[in-house]
């Protein structure tokens, strides 16, 4: 093994270290100044004179250093109004421009704005498999610190899970990681595998049976003994997707270690929920498989039973994510959740439609969609709704089974994937999220590689949802 299973504990202490007190209080002041403000009365004179001198020429933001005996004792960041509602992006950009060091934030930001700036700063600190290379930021608000740690540890943990290559993050390692996570929070986990998968989750079995690491369903429950509403989150855990016998071309197979990005997203979300003690019952479900090639591989034209009883024809072995999700959603229904959410790196078609930065989401509920749409742009963590367009259901028809796993044509592939999933759940409040879980290049708040998208927004949405 090159990479051990990541432990949530190490990401919590890493996130705490970013905002911890520094010995001897040896900080450089970081003055964060909104250029659109008319007065800057509480600032030291030398800083006001710099602002008034209009030395800041950048259209967006600029950084200046103040020196005393050849040593910078203060850093001034002045930003224009375009960043007023993009403070997460600004925090990340500023952190990326400064050397590693210890900074103390000096600003007139409100508490929630300070949170956003510090969140952006924190998001910029993640580097794969590295815990000792980061910049401290000292902020005033203790509550903000706590929530920053819960959010960042979740996001970092999820990114790390995706970034670990499938040689060290197969179904067995994902299971171990899952159990370690549950134990850290004192939760009981249940693992279904072997004959229990074969007999009760026929589609999960069909997808995973060719791998040397058998298919399994991972489950954990939080707040079991409460009367809180049950919210179930499901994450696609295809640890590596070769495409199966419908083999992927090289360029599409290259990053398929990320095909468990849905699983990483739900663990990331679970971490934020649990650390913030959200008043919900939470059930986390991850079907974990490899979509491999071997004598046991499912074949195009095969027909399998599903847990729901519908017979499914395999039109294409590369449409495997929806198969393992189908059985898992049916299982989730059994417990009558108030809300059921799945995260999955499901289709390339969602990327053709919306690109890498915008996970597509589907729901039949306009009420849910209105809340999400109101939240996600403010969170700088967008999700974009696509329709469950029933007329396309007929494209999934099969001559030999109740449904095909792929559509006859090539149009609207993310919609037909969502329609396929819908056949397997009766939960009224259901949200399906089709995410990329990856950044092809780094941009503010998003390092290159594994990425956690939409999770911060869904967490905020959950807080609203349970209020209703």
Closest to 239 in 3D by CA, of 178, 309, 299: 178
In the residue annotation, 322 being an active-site residue is answered as yes
Active-site residue, selected from the candidate residues 248, 311, 443, 463: 248
- Residues contacting 195, CB < 8 A, separation 6+: none
> Shortest gap between Cβ of 303 and Zn ion (angstroms)?
19
Q: Is the Cβ of residue 153 or residue 211 nearer to Zn ion in the bound state?
A: 211
DSSP conformation class of 248 = P
Dihedral of alpha carbons 352, 358, 362, 367, sign: negative
For the range 461-466, what are the long-range contacts, defined as Cβ-Cβ under 8 Å and sequence gap of 24 or more? 461/368, 461/371, 461/372, 461/375, 461/376, 462/231, 462/273, 462/278, 462/280, 462/339, 463/278, 464/371, 464/375, 465/339, 465/368, 465/371, 466/228, 466/229, 466/278, 466/279, 466/280
Spatial contact of 177 and 239, defined as CB atoms under 8 Å apart: no
Give dist(CA 316, CA 314) in Å, integer: 5
> Shortest gap between Cβ of 346 and Zn ion (angstroms)?
9
> Shortest gap between Cβ of 240 and Zn ion (angstroms)?
10
Helix, coil or strand: residue 56: coil
Q: Is the Cβ of residue 346 or residue 368 nearer to Zn ion in the bound state?
A: 346
Subset of 320-359 contacting Zn ion (CB under 5 A): 320
Q: Which of 5, 89, 172, 241 binds Zn ion (CB under 5 A)?
A: 241
Give dist(CA 458, CA 369) in Å, integer: 11
Active-site residue, selected from the candidate residues 209, 236, 257, 322: 322
| Inter-helix orientation angle 455-467/366-376, to 10° | 130
Q: Which of 172, 175, 313, 318 binds Zn ion (CB under 5 A)?
A: 318
DSSP conformation class of 8 = H
Q: CA 218: distance to chain centroid?
A: 18
Dihedral of alpha carbons 189, 195, 197, 201, sign: negative
Q: Interacting stretch for Zn ion, rule CB under 5 A, among 41-49, 282-290, 319-327, 387-395?
A: 319-327
Q: Interacting stretch for Zn ion, rule CB under 5 A, among 208-216, 317-325, 348-356, 415-423?
A: 317-325
Spatial contact of 422 and 233, defined as CB atoms under 8 Å apart: no
- Here the tokens at position 173 are 């390692």
Q: What is the CA radius of gyration of the chain?
A: 24
> Shortest gap between Cβ of 75 and Zn ion (angstroms)?
47
Beta pairing, strands 430-434 & 403-404: unpaired
> Shortest gap between Cβ of 347 and Zn ion (angstroms)?
9
Binding mask 9-38 for Zn ion (x = CB under 5 A): ------------------------------
Q: Interacting stretch for Zn ion, rule CB under 5 A, among 51-59, 151-159, 241-249, 395-403?
A: 241-249
> Shortest gap between Cβ of 205 and Zn ion (angstroms)?
17
Alpha helix segments (H runs only) across 222-286 = 250-253, 261-275
Q: Is the Cβ of residue 5 or residue 318 nearer to Zn ion in the bound state?
A: 318
Subset of 67-96 contacting Zn ion (CB under 5 A): none
Spatial contact of 199 and 215, defined as CB atoms under 8 Å apart: no
Q: Is the Cβ of residue 285 or residue 417 nearer to Zn ion in the bound state?
A: 417
Q: Is the Cβ of residue 81 or residue 254 nearer to Zn ion in the bound state?
A: 254
In the residue annotation, 307 being an active-site residue is answered as no
Q: Is the Cβ of residue 320 or residue 434 nearer to Zn ion in the bound state?
A: 320
> Shortest gap between Cβ of 309 and Zn ion (angstroms)?
24
Task: Identify the burial level of 34 via C-beta atoms within 10 angstroms of its C-beta, where 0-12 means exposed, 13-18 middle and 19 or more buried.
Answer: middle
Q: Is the Cβ of residue 28 or residue 435 nearer to Zn ion in the bound state?
A: 435
Query: Residues binding Zn ion: what is the number (CB under 5 A)?
Result: 3
Q: Interacting stretch for Zn ion, rule CB under 5 A, among 204-212, 235-243, 368-376, 431-439?
A: 235-243
Tell me if 292 contacts Zn ion by CB under 5 A. Answer: no
Q: Is the Cβ of residue 332 or residue 344 nearer to Zn ion in the bound state?
A: 344
- Here the tokens at position 155 are 């996001």
The Cα angle at residue 122 between residues 119 and 127, in degrees rounded to 5: 145
> Shortest gap between Cβ of 434 and Zn ion (angstroms)?
13
Binding residues (CB under 5 A) for Zn ion: these are 241, 318, 320
Q: Which residues are catalytic?
A: 248, 322
């Amino acid at each position: 093994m090159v990479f051990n299973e990541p432990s949530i504990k190490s990401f919590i202490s890493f996130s705490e270290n970013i905002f911890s007190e520094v010995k001897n209080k040896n900080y450089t002041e970081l003055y964060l100044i909104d250029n659109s403000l008319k007065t800057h009365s509480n600032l030291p004179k030398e800083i006001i004179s710099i602002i008034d001198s209009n030395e800041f020429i950048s259209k967006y933001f600029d950084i200046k250093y103040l020196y005393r005996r050849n040593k910078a004792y203060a850093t001034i960041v002045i930003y224009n109004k375009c960043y007023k509602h993009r403070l997460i992006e600004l925090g990340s950009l500023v952190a990326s421009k400064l050397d590693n060091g210890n900074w103390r934030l000096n600003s007139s930001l409100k508490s929630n704005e300070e949170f956003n700036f510090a969140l952006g700063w924190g998001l910029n600190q993640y580097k794969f498999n590295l815990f000792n290379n980061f910049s401290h930021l000292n902020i005033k608000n203790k509550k903000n610190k706590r929530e920053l740690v819960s959010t960042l540890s979740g996001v970092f943990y999820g990114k790390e899970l995706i970034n670990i290559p499938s040689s060290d993050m197969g179904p067995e390692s994902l299971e171990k990681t899952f159990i370690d996570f549950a134990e850290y929070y004192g939760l009981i986990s249940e693992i279904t595998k072997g004959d229990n998968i074969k007999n009760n989750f026929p589609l999960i079995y069909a997808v995973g049976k060719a791998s040397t690491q058998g298919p399994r369903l991972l489950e954990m429950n939080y707040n079991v003994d409460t009367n809180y509403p049950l919210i179930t989150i499901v994450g696609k855990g295809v640890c590596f997707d070769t495409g199966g016998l419908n083999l992927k071309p090289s360029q599409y197979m290259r990053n398929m270690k990320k095909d468990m990005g849905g699983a990483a997203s739900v663990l990331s979300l679970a971490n934020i929920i649990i650390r913030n003690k959200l008043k919900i019952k939470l059930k986390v479900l991850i079907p974990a498989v490899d979509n491999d090639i071997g004598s046991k591989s499912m074949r195009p034209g095969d027909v399998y039973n599903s847990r729901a009883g519908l017979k499914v024809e395999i039109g294409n072995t590369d449409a495997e994510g929806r198969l393992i999700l189908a059985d898992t959603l049916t299982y989730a229904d059994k417990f009558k959740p108030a809300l059921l959410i799945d995260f999955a790196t499901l289709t390339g078609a969602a990327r053709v439609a919306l690109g890498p930065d915008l996970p597509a989401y589907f729901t039949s509920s306009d009420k849910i969609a209105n809340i999400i749409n109101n939240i996600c742009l403010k969170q700088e963590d967008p999700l974009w709704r696509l329709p469950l367009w029933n007329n396309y259901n007929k494209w999934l028809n099969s001559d030999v089974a109740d449904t095909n796993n792929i559509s006859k044509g090539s149009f609207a592939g993310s919609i037909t994937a969502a329609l396929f999933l819908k056949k397997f759940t009766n939960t009224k409040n259901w949200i399906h999220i089709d995410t990329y879980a990856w950044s092809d290049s780094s941009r503010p708040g998003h390092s290159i590689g594994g990425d956690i998208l939409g999770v911060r927004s869904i967490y905020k949405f959950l807080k609203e949802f349970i209020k209703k």
